[in-house]
Amino acid sequence: MPDVALIADPLPGIFYRHGGAWFVGGGTSAAAPQWAGFLALLNQRDGGRGLGHPGPRLYAVCGSGAYHDIIGGGNGDYDATPGWDAVTGLGTVSVRNLLAVY
């Protein structure tokens, strides 16, 4: 089950370089390293002490503007609805707002 969402569609996807060649990716393969980067920024801002499990802190900022709630669309099994849903979790992140409130 998702906690948060980022780019899932490989079109437009994100470009990355591997082994001297450029590729385009999407889905979890693109979202996980982006979230790792966001958490690295948060950890650096907090003095590099480590953040521990991010889940409780991610859920604690619900309603703060840290997320854009996705209320339409689906993945074939579930539909996006207001609030947490099984497609996009809490929604997509506003990194600027997340960094401000996390």
pLDDT digits (tens, 9 = 90+) for 39-81: 998 899 889 999 889 889 889 998 899 999 999 999 899 999 9
How would you classify residue 52: left for phi > 0, otherwise alpha for psi between -120 and 50, otherwise beta? Answer: left
Q: Please check whether residue 82 lies inside any domain of the structure.
A: yes
Q: Please check whether residue 3 lies inside any domain of the structure.
A: no
Q: Please check whether residue 2 lies inside any domain of the structure.
A: no
Q: Please check whether residue 66 lies inside any domain of the structure.
A: yes
Total of domains in the chain: 1
The chain-wide mean pLDDT, for the chain, equals: 89
Q: How many CB atoms lie within 10 A of CB 58?
A: 20
Q: Please check whether residue 21 lies inside any domain of the structure.
A: yes
Give the structural domain span for 53: 14-101
Confidence (pLDDT) at 6: 84
Q: Please check whether residue 4 lies inside any domain of the structure.
A: no
Over residues 13-35, mean pLDDT: 88
Question: What is the C-alpha separation between 47 and 55, in angstroms, rounded?
Answer: 20
Please count the residues of the chain. Answer: 102
Residue 32 has pLDDT above 80, yes or no: yes
